[in-house]
Structure 1
Amino acid sequence: MSSGPGFQLILLTAPEPHPAEMKVLAAIMESPTPPRLHLRRPAWTPAKTAAWLRAAPAQWLPHLVLHNHHELAAKFGVGGVHFTASARAAGQHQVRPASGTVSTALHSLAEVQALGAAFDYVFLSPIFNSISKVGYPSAFALSEVAATLQAVPEARVLALGGIQAGTLPLARQTGFAGAAVLGAVWEAPDPVAAFRELADLAYGKQL
């Protein structure tokens, strides 16, 4: 499966909302080419997630991917659902939506070989030392990752973990189909500027 050609930059929300989250997202999502946005709120209830979706501008919804409470996807017309490793282990990925992308999180090269092509795209982590998770270091040799990506070209694998201005070019050189960013944006003094810098590196232009 494929979610689209070319290198792709995806933004994940922080587990708890940034103080200026909606203002930051407005600047990012209302650009001419908004990124795919993964709503990752593991502690939120269905009601709280639904309230956030109702508050979001309608034009954002096709670009959103839910990590939890997938039953809300059809109701709000979001663009996809994501299965965490624990959800996949519990077999929840067997129930998929009628439309939208389906993604998951992988943590080994063996999983990439076995499961990568079964989803529209997958995250592989941690590729570099995590910015948002203390004590979550890189778990891969990039040369081994590159060889695996070449061996399963039908899989669309995105790098996650430690993606920032200094590492994103390495992710591209390794052969990843894209990168997912979290800490480099939400922990930056200016999250919008941080995302735009990454977008410039990813696409060669400012969004």
Structure 2
Amino acid sequence: MFRLLVITAPIALPDEPRLLTNLLDAGLPSLHLRKPGWPAAQVETLIRAIPTPFHKRLVLHEHPELVRQYHLGGLHLTGAQRAATGPRPSLRSGQTLSTSLHSLAEIRRHRRRYDYVFLSPIFNSISKQGYASGFQLPEVQKCLELLATRVGYCPHVLALGGVAAENIGLLPSAGFAGAAVLGTIWQSIDPVAAWRQLTAQTL
């Protein structure tokens, strides 16, 4: 089943807890809380503003202590965090560990350590100007098929970067297990409607 995740805007948004809760209430399976530079106390305030029943669907991009404390869904590592972390971080049973990768070679190298990974930018980024795609979908498909059949293991790879209604339908046939979206959601006047439109394109 194709998974569609949402990454938060990197800055605070007006009435953000309500917006995030509305997405989760609409059925969003996983919400990545990415707030670069926010101290743990500020991230904790945001977590506490989201109803507890949704905490299992939250994945943090920093502050593993909060992942454990609030029994969140998982922890996501950036490249810098991945280099600094060393062994797998200590998480509770059932919590996921994911990371962001930017080449097929990185997928081959890190594939056994993570429950799922983001590969980006698959298309030209919507939220980052000048962040252009460096991938060809047939090449990605060939790599993922090779890992799954010849090597015997390929993590769930989710497409990130420039994913929108007009191109998301290309991703399942290219071997992606899902997609993570940011700009398409937060540049919309109705984030829930934008998420639902994307979901409809993958059914």
Q: Which bracket does the TM-score occupy, shorter chain normalised? A: over 0.9
Equivalent position of 2:182 in the other structure: 182
Large movers: runs of 4+ above 6 Å: none
2:157 counterpart of 1:157: yes
Output the aligned Cα RMSD. 1.3
What secondary structure sits across from 2:201 in the alignment?
helix
Instruction: Tell me if the contact between 1:188 and 1:194 (Cα under 8 Å) persists in the aligned partners.
Output: yes
Give 1:139 deviation, angstroms: 1.1
Give the distance between the partners of 1:175 and 1:14, measured in 2 at CA: 27
Separation of aligned partners in 2, 1:93 and 1:130: 31
Which runs of no fewer than 5 residues in structure 1 stay unpaired?
1-5
After the TM superposition, which residues 43-82 of structure 1 pair with which residues of structure 2 at under 5 Å, given as runs?
Answer: 43-82=37-76
Q: Residue deviations 1:183-204, cap 9 Å, x none?
A: 00001122221111011123x2
Report the TM-score when normalising by structure 2: 0.92
| CA distance, structure 2, for counterparts of residue 72 and residue 93 of structure 1 | 19
Shift in Å, 1:93 = 5.5
Q: 2:92 aligns with which of 69, 91, 98?
A: 98
Shift in Å at residue 46 of structure 1?
Answer: 0.6
Q: Is 2:20 aligned against 1:25?
A: yes
In structure 1, give the amino acid aligned to 2:168: L
CA deviations 1:162-199 (Å, max 9, x no partner) are 01101111111211010000000001122221111011
Over the matched positions of the two proteins, sequence identity in percent amounts to: 46
Spell out, residue by residue over 1:115-152, the C-alpha distance to the aligned partner (whole angstroms, 9 max, x if none). Answer: 12321000000000000111100011111111111112
Paired position in structure 2 for 1:170: 170
Aligned length: 197
Preserved contact between residue 83 and residue 92 of structure 1 (Cα < 8 Å):
no
Could you list the per-position Cα deviations for residues 34-75 of structure 1 after superposition, in whole angstroms to 9, with x for gaps in the alignment?
Answer: 320000001100110111111111011000001011111111
Aligned residue type for 1:201: Q
Structure 2 gaps, min length 5? 149-153
Determine if contact 2:23/2:191 at 8 Å carries over to the other structure: no
Contact kept, 8 Å, 1:103 with 1:120, in 2: the verdict is: yes
Partner of 1:3: none
Contact kept, 8 Å, 2:7 with 2:32, in 1: the verdict is yes
